[in-house]
Amino acid sequence: MFRFNSKFLLLGIFLFAHLFVGLAQEKNSSIISAFQKGSSKALSSFLGKMVEIRFDNSKKDFSKSQAEIVLANFFKSNPVKSFKLQKENKIDAKNSFLIGTYTSINNQFSVLIKGKELDDGRWLVNSLDFVKK
């Protein structure tokens, strides 16, 4: 008869997990790419109508167009050297967050990106926190 082989089970679990993680990272790759390029324009395509932006202890709500200007000023003052995703986690079925490290020529920031997945699969950012290290 058919014998169960644990190696095939482990291989199946590994492939499923790899596929699931790959799909999650693919959805966020455009946001990560926008940070890696220091592009407020690319990043603004993921912003909601209103977005909360915090720099250290200063937190304000901005419209999408205002947020794009604020981010452009940030990227201009802190030209990108690198952006690395450190963590990605789901809060619930729709809401998630990303944590990354944004390194500029002179500074380094921890970045917390909070958002939700829309029904069409796109990601909508509603909060950005920049904390200088």
- Report pLDDT for 77: 96
- Report pLDDT for 85: 95
Residue 24 lies in a domain: yes
- Report pLDDT for 118: 85
Number of domains in the chain: 1
CATH of the domain at 125: 3.10.450.50
Residue 104 lies in a domain: yes
Length of the chain: 133
- Report pLDDT for 120: 83
Mean pLDDT per block of 10 residues along the chain (133 residues) reads 48 42 55 94 94 94 97 96 93 90 96 91 92 94
Residue 1 lies in a domain: no
Residue-wise DSSP of the chain: -PPP-HHHHHHHHHHHHHHHHHHHHHHHHHHHHHHHHT-HHHHHTTEEEEEEEEETTEEEEEEHHHHHHHHHHHHHHS-EEEEEEEEEEESSSSEEEEEEEEEESS-EEEEEEEEEE-TTS-EEEEEEEEEE-
Overall pTM > 0.75: yes
- Report pLDDT for 27: 55
- Report pLDDT for 28: 72
What's the domain range around 62?
6-132
- Report pLDDT for 22: 39
- Report pLDDT for 59: 95
